[in-house]
């Protein structure tokens, strides 16, 4: 345990010179990046430090776990989807209010375009690599130095995951040579559970906070090596211009529960910045749309796991049908679109009736049916986002537009419109084009949307 005076000195130095900022990366998915980042965040907070956490790339589930670990909202960072300037503003703001900023990478360090390494290099953020050492010893050194020099990246240290014993660690440490061993986490009987889209949601994990506390207890952290890392300075850039209040006076109802939880914090912030009042309701609790709703946002999630409950949510379904009949604009993304169709056939082959606003049927599949960064060309500009789904839609409706994939420039997801409903598998990052976002929440024949 580090003394209070040392920690106070560390916190003071961070507040005076900027935050210690690292990108937590790995050589591949499955190395334990989220587990380690969550354990590290909670441990550093326990030491009296102010911690902010970010997640690289399009992801909803990892940020939920990380948010529980650190107690503050976890925003996405991506040079393409979020944008260089927006990423810089987020990091600069975090550095002003925190002693430590942790950025969890995505996939392997150099995977993707842009990659986690690209993000680290863009802002001069050192990398800490997580290595699952469960089936390695000295070879860990070769992996670490390969990751360091391939880019290269500024490698601040290593965190070893699933260490079997003290002797196991002793075999590895000399092989790291001049790269500091910042921390190690032993092989544990428990871990964060996963399902087909990634980690499960925090509320589904029994005693999650106790698990996170145990992880913080078990991570062995070398605070002297941590203190030796220099602070990272992110120059503040001018604040973005205030957005035109295109949604001023409009009440946007957002579905939020275990079935519809895939929402970027930045999406809600964008709606509010456009002037909207954001209110929430729960389809799983059979809550109807709130009174005075001017627009509806049904985001993605796991409706396929809650088909029985959604099929019996008669008040919610009736309120959606009424809103649709009254031409209230509705945006349904991925899981939200699934619940708007006539039915979902789940992984066990059972078919469940849904709200029926969108003609068509959903079928779940064991393999991915859509994946990757995409953009939608609109009159207002390029709306960026991603797709990630294990189901397909069968519908007779023609698409009104299609996204384009980021890496290959091929046709991506279809956009459908049926009355006031806009539905797609595409997860939009609203802040990438606020004007296009605002248009989605106006009646298609409205003159106000053109102002």
Catalytic residues: 334
Tokens of 221: 């952290």
Residue 27 DSSP one-character state: S
Whose tokens are 């990634």? That residue is: 198
- For residue 258, give every residue at least 6 positions away whose Cβ sits within 8 Å of its Cβ, in sequence order, or none: 201, 203, 204, 284, 301, 302, 305, 306
Q: Half-sphere exposure of 294 toward its Cβ, with a 13 Å CA cutoff?
A: 19
Q: In the sheet that 358-364 helps form, which strands lie side by side, from edge to edge?
A: 351-353, 341-345, 358-364, 391-394
The continuous run of DSSP H or E covering 56 comes out as strand 51-56
For residue 335, give the nearest of 415, 424, 436, 438 by alpha carbon: 424
Could you identify the residue written with the tokens 């006031």?
A: 420
376 φ/ψ sector (left φ>0, alpha ψ -120 to 50, else beta): beta
Give start and end residues of each alpha helix (H) in 257-328: 265-273, 307-311, 314-325
CA-to-CA dists, residue 392 to 23, 67, 175, angstroms: 35, 31, 48
* 390/165 Cα distance (integer angstroms): 39
Q: Which helix (H) or strand (E) holds 295?
A: strand 295-298
Distance of CA 127 to the CA centre of its chain: 20
What b/e string do you get for 326-347 counting C-beta neighbours within 10 Å, with b at 16 or more? Answer: eebbbbbbbbbbbbbbbbbbbe
Strand 351-353 and strand 341-345: pairing? antiparallel
**Closest alpha carbon to 44 in 17, 64, 18, 71:** 71
User: What is the distance between the alpha carbons of residues 259 and 316, in angstroms, rounded to a whole number?
Assistant: 13
User: From CA 432, how far away is CA 75, in angstroms rounded?
Assistant: 14
DSSP three-state, residue 444: coil
Reading the block at residue 451, the tokens are 């102002």
């Amino acid at each position: 345990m580090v003394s209070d005076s040392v920690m106070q000195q560390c916190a003071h130095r961070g507040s005076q010179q900027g935050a210690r900022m690292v990108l937590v990366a790995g050589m591949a998915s499955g190395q334990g990046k989220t587990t380690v980042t969550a354990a590290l965040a909670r441990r550093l907070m326990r030491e009296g430090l102010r911690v902010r956490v970010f997640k690289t790339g399009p992801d909803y589930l990892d940020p939920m776990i990380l948010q529980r670990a650190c107690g503050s909202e976890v925003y996405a960072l991506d040079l393409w989807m979020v944008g260089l300037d927006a990423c810089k503003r987020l990091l600069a703001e975090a550095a002003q209010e925190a002693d430590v900023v942790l950025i969890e990478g995505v996939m392997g360090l150099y995977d993707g375009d842009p990659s986690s390494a690209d993000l680290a290099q863009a802002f001069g953020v050192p990398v800490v690599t997580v290595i699952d050492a469960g089936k390695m010893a000295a070879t860990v050194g070769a992996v670490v130095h390969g990751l360091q020099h391939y880019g290269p990246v500024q490698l601040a240290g290593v965190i070893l995951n699933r260490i079997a014993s003290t002797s196991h660690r002793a075999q590895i440490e000399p092989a790291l040579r001049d790269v500091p061993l910042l921390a190690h986490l032993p092989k544990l009987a428990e871990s964060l559970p996963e399902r087909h889209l990634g980690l499960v949601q925090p509320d589904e994990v029994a005693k999650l906070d106790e698990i996170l506390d145990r992880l913080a207890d078990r991570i062995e952290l070398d605070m002297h090596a941590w203190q030796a890392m220099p602070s990272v300075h992110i120059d503040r850039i001018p604040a973005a211009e205030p957005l035109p209040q295109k949604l001023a006076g409009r009440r946007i109802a957002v579905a939020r529960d275990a079935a519809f939880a895939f929402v970027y914090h930045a999406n809600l912030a964008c709606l509010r910045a456009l002037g909207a009042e954001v209110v929430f309701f729960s389809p799983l609790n059979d809550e109807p749309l709130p009174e005075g709703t001017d627009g509806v946002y049904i985001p993605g999630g796991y409706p396929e796991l809650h088909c029985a409950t959604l099929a019996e949510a008669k008040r919610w379904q009736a309120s959606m049908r009424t809103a649709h009949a009254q031409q209230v604009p509705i945006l349904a993304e991925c899981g939200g679109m699934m619940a708007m169709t006539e039915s979902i056939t789940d992984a066990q082959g059972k078919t469940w009736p849904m709200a029926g606003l969108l003609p068509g049927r959903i079928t779940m599949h064991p393999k991915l049916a859509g994946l990757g960064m995409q953009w939608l060309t609109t009159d207002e500009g390029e709306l960026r986002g991603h797709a990630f789904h294990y189901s397909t839609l069968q519908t007779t409706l023609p698409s009104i537009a299609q996204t384009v994939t980021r890496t290959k420039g091929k046709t991506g997801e279809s956009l459908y419109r049926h009355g006031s409903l806009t539905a797609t598998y595409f997860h939009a990052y609203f802040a990438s084009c606020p004007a296009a976002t605002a248009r989605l929440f106006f009646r298609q024949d409205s003159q106000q949307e053109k102002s």
